[in-house]
Amino acid sequence: MLKRWKRLAVTASSVVMATAMAFGLSACGPTDEEEELPYSPTDQEIYDNAFGEFYDLYMEARDITGSDDDSLAERYALMAISEAKLLESATFSPLTSNGGQYAISRVVPHTYSYVLWGSDGDRFHQQLVANEFLTAADRTHVNEMYAEYVAAGNTAKEFSDAAKAYLTEQGYTFKDTYRMAYNADPTNYDVLATSKAVDTEAIVNTYDGLMEYDEMNELQPALADSYTVSEDGLTYTFHIRNDASWYTQSGDRYAAVTADDFVAGFQHMLDAAGGLEYLVDGVVVGVTDYLAGAAGFDEVGVKRVNESGEEDANGEYVQYTLEQEAPYFMTMLSYSVFAPMNRAYFLSQGGAFGADYNETAASYTYGKAPANILYCGPYIITNATSKSTIVFEAYEDYYNYDNINLKSITWVYNDGQIETRAFTDARDGVTDGTGLSENTITLAESQTTTDIHGNTGNYFELYGYISQTDATTGIGFYNLNRHAYANYNDATKAVSPKDDVAKAVTRMAMQNVHFRRALAYSFDRVTYNASRSGAEIAANNLINSFTPGTFVQLPADVTVDINGTATTFESGTYYGEIVQAQLTADGSHIEVWRQVNGEYSSIGFDGWYNPDAAKEEMALAIEELNGTTLLDVYGNPMVDENGNEITINISADNPVQIDYVCVDTVTVWRNQGSAYEQGIEGVLDEIQVNLVSVASEDDWYYSGYHAATGADKNSDIDTTSLWSPDYGDPQTYLDTVIPTGYMITSFGLW
């Protein structure tokens, strides 16, 4: 899956509407007068029906903004209760987190940030990379060292130095380069105008932020060397270091980094509206009105100020003023929404601000290529050859050059079509590590080598380990109002085999909560995941909620209402336990919180698969749907050749058809598609899965990930995306599924 918007695109190694009508059937097209027929459900009506209970509870929770422990505890608890309602709506199936799979690697664990949100986990300059694969035993020892150093309060550098010393004693040597695989080219090098991870994962290594998370996941000064927060928690003021500079792609110094770069960057981010602006809408003063065109940027709470806090064109401070307390504000700084941008350079590339901004102008070149941006981070992009190589080279005048462990990073393209390549590239040093699928585990087991200690064995037994999971959530989105039955960019790709009646039946079924639950409960995610992870650990990275259950803990005791009962949760209670309490009280079949390997988690088991419950829900869906008039996408009754209205009649002989788009040329995706088809049909006779084959991952992404509107989403279940959190509050997940949320189009809405 591709990473976000901060959407991520699903990967194999990590792993125009069709218009033909069925003969003898007719459907009335819309006229101007028929656009608002009373029985035609609008996107808002569909949303209210599916998400309404979640939305009301979530808005109540989101309105709690105090930064004291009692307020935070109430906020988290009510968000957890609202998430239970979201899960019960069964508008999606949670799939997997990142990690939790077998892998081999030369990278020393915990020598880069493992922070769960933002982009700092993609900054690799501090990584230690050995010339040799780390053995499983040495990797375990380093992980144990890390836990000890964290418990003792040691710094990131102290741990890194100790880990390097230990591994050196074991015979390892180290290099200052790192090579990794990638599967999708960046399409935009303007970090303030994109929220797709295929872009931001590359660009994050070219700039520094105000603050950045270190390897201990502690915020450290970066371009800001100090900051203050006002007593009311509404004003954050950052002093900008005086030794950082901007550089061109050729390495020539362009200008000093100043506080104005953060002001200019913030305005450009709002003007570009690339998917970042919603994060600060309602958070920073004036943003809402500016986005609506009701105020100028001078009314937005981002200013260049002097030591006294007065606006000053030469001030060394950037100041952010918030609408209300946002206890998560500092955690937002690790994401690109607060990246700097040099104003003069932007203007020289055809840029403009406010109403004059026009990215489609012929003169506008900013961010179009690595040569059209400035650099103030560890690396300059020296080569970006499409579907081949991206090279990042450190430059010696970078203010923190002496503390960079890696002087170059190389991305090597791999489209996943040759499944064995990921392993052979890692084995041969083309890359420095890889995840292992079921088939490449077998390959690793078939090849003998000798490790650094002189032990002979196969690659898997000597070097194989299970990678750590993160806070990413892979999702199978259900299309609640499908319009497209071929890819929007190429009507010959991913074409649905359904006739018009089948399309309408599926659409109406998807708007029925019992049908969606039947579909979700019949989805055997362990079998589905086995081809990616191997059967032995197929459940390891399965996630059962949207927000990971361990994402936050209550900072204080709190008492909340659960179905009329005052329920107290103690300080330290995890978010997932509260979600489960509401699910249990509602009698839901969903399990999101379970003890796994001695610790409670929302990851590592399948808490949704329940064939008996699926059959019960399907029976309820059929009871509610059968006999109702079949409506087309415009809300018009569908009629047969005799003019009689068609009614829904779901049965084993007349099943609901679900289109699942599958990359037939990539073994992992082909096997997962087959597992989905066989699993659903093996539980429910009344559902038929259509595997809609495409020949490339690009075609797959265009069926879902690249489609910008709900009307362009071309599948009944979209598995192309994951969500990675932007900051350290459950709001970063739940905000994405409100009507203005970032992922709402994935449900076929808006």
Average pLDDT over residues 249-267: 98
Asked if residue 433 belongs to a domain, the reply is no
Q: What is the pLDDT of residue 1?
A: 38
Q: Is-contact 609 684, C-beta < 8 A?
A: no
DSSP letter assigned to residue 645? B
Mean pLDDT of the chain: 93
Res 36: pLDDT: 39
Boundary of a domain, candidates 306, 341, 356: 356
Rounded to an integer, the average pLDDT of 360-372 is: 97
Q: Which of 27-31, 128-132, 158-162, 312-316 has the lowest mean pLDDT?
A: 27-31
39 has pLDDT over 80: no
User: Which of 329, 356, 383 is the endpoint of a domain?
Assistant: 356
Of 705, 558, 603, nearest to 80 by C-alpha is: 558
- Cβ distance 163 to 170 under 8 Å? no
CA distance 246 to 341: 9
Question: What per-residue confidence (pLDDT) applies to 76?
Answer: 98
pLDDT reported for residue 28 = 33
Q: Convert the pLDDT of each residue in 91-127 to its tens digit.
A: 999 999 988 999 999 999 999 998 989 999 999 999 9
Tell me: pLDDT of 171 over 60: yes
Please indicate, yes or no, if residue 730 is contained in any of the structural domains: yes
What total number of domains does the chain contain? 2
Confidence of residue 377 (pLDDT cuts 50, 70, 90): very high
Q: Is the pLDDT of residue 38 over 60?
A: no
**β-sheet bridge partners, residue 384:** 390
Residue 104 lies in a domain: no
> Is residue 116 situated within a structural domain?
no
Instruction: Give residue 532's pLDDT band: very low, low, confident or very high (50, 70, 90).
Output: confident
Q: Would the pLDDT of 181 be above 80?
A: yes
Residue 516 shares a structural domain with residue 651 = yes
pLDDT at position 179 is: 98
What is the dihedral sign for C-alpha 529, 609, 469, 390?
Answer: positive
pLDDT of residue 620: 98
**483 and 342 in a common domain:** no
Residue-wise pLDDT tens digits, 670-723: 999 999 999 999 999 999 999 999 999 999 999 999 999 999 999 999 999 999
Q: Report the pLDDT averaged over residues 481-510.
A: 97
Q: Is residue 350 part of a domain?
A: yes
Does one domain contain both 664 and 534?
Answer: yes
Using alpha carbons, select from 596, 618, 598, 615 the residue that is nearest to residue 606: 596
For residue 344, the domain's CATH number is 3.90.76.10
- Does residue 205 lie within any of the structural domains? yes
Domain final residue pick, 337, 356, 375:
356
Quick one: pLDDT band at residue 419, thresholds 50, 70, 90?
Answer: confident
- pLDDT, mean of residues 49-73: 96
- Interacting residues of 180 by C-beta distance below 8 A, sequence separation 6+: 409, 410, 411, 412, 431, 432, 433
| Alpha carbon distances (Å) from 381 to 121, 129, 198, 249, 717 | 19, 20, 15, 7, 37
CATH number of the CATH domain containing 657: 3.10.105
520 and 661, same structural domain?
yes
The verdict on 482 and 344 lying in the same domain is no
Q: How would residue 438 be classed by pLDDT, with cut points 50, 70 and 90?
A: confident
Residue 224's domain comprises 197-356
pLDDT at 21 over 80: no
726 φ/ψ sector (left φ>0, alpha ψ -120 to 50, else beta): alpha
Is the confidence at residue 37, as pLDDT, over 70? no
Q: Averaged over 658-673, what is the pLDDT?
A: 94
**% the chain with pLDDT above 70:** 95
pLDDT above 80: residue 13: no
Whether residue 465 is predicted with pLDDT greater than 90 in this model: the reply is: yes
Flag the least confident range among 34-48, 331-345, 351-365, 635-649: 34-48
* Residue 385 within any structural domain of the chain: no
CA 497 to chain CA centroid, nearest Å: 30
Please answer whether residues 648 and 628 qualify as being in contact, where contact means their C-beta atoms are separated by less than 8 angstroms: yes
Q: Please check whether residue 269 lies inside any domain of the structure.
A: yes
Question: For the segment 607-660, what is each residue's pLDDT rounded down to a tens digit?
Answer: 999 999 999 999 999 999 999 999 998 889 999 999 999 999 999 999 999 999
Confidence of residue 9 (pLDDT cuts 50, 70, 90): low
